[in-house]
Homo-oligomer: A and B are copies of this chain.
Amino acid sequence: MSERSAIILLSGGLDSSTVLAEATRAGRRCHALSFRYGQRHEHEIKAASAIARHFEVREHTVLDIDLAAFGGSALTDEISVPKDALEDEGIPVTYVPARNTIFLSFALAYAEVREAREIWLGVNAIDYSGYPDCRPEYIAAFEAMANLATRDGVEGRGVSILTPLSRLDKTGIVNRAFELGVPLEHTHSCYDPVESGASCGRCDACLLRARGFDGANRTDPAP
């Protein structure tokens, strides 16, 4: 019964929402997993909840984790988020040490407890130009480690990590999101939203998102 269950890492952004749409389309029983991790804002969690409801996931779990305890990133401490300039080279200041490793580790525990054999994740070609823990070789290494880590892995019921966006750029993702009927008005990508929850329009995430909608000749319905 559980062979078609999947864990979906869901931030409520464009990418992970599109991944949830892919997993739903593929007929998976979806268990969405989101994190509160010392972010400055609750808007991500609200977006994730709205998206999870839209796709009628089996379960949506929100975990609190304290990445801020260590500091070290613009997303979790008081370094300011860079504005109006896409960093095209190197690792961005918004890099959070070991973030995907921590997220995937919790997803692995969740998968084992729910007898899911798949973890779906929204990494893509844009991310892995900058974030080491989005690259295909990293994902492969995590999967290899995961299948040595758990009772399920040892007993031959290993887990696969699926990254359906891995070859897409932002325009490709926007196009795919429209094809799959993702309610983009509920998605939230901004690193540094204003108090109402509206996007700043100037951080890396906003600029990349705008570039994606431009490329697809679409209007972004999010506030």
Contacts and interface: CB of A to CB of B under 8 A. Distances in A.
Interface of A: 61, 63-67, 69-72, 91, 95-102, 104-106, 108-110, 112-114, 132-133, 135, 137-138, 141-142, 144-146, 148-151, 153-154
Q: Is the interface of A mostly helix, strand, loop or mixed?
A: helix
Given A63-B66, A148-B141, A149-B138, A102 B113 contact: no
A150 to B, nearest CB: 6
A145 B113 contact: no
A213 B61 CA distance: 43
9 contacts: A63-B69, A65-B66, A70-B109, A70-B110, A97-B113, A100-B149, A101-B145, A101-B146, A135-B148
B98 A154 contact: no
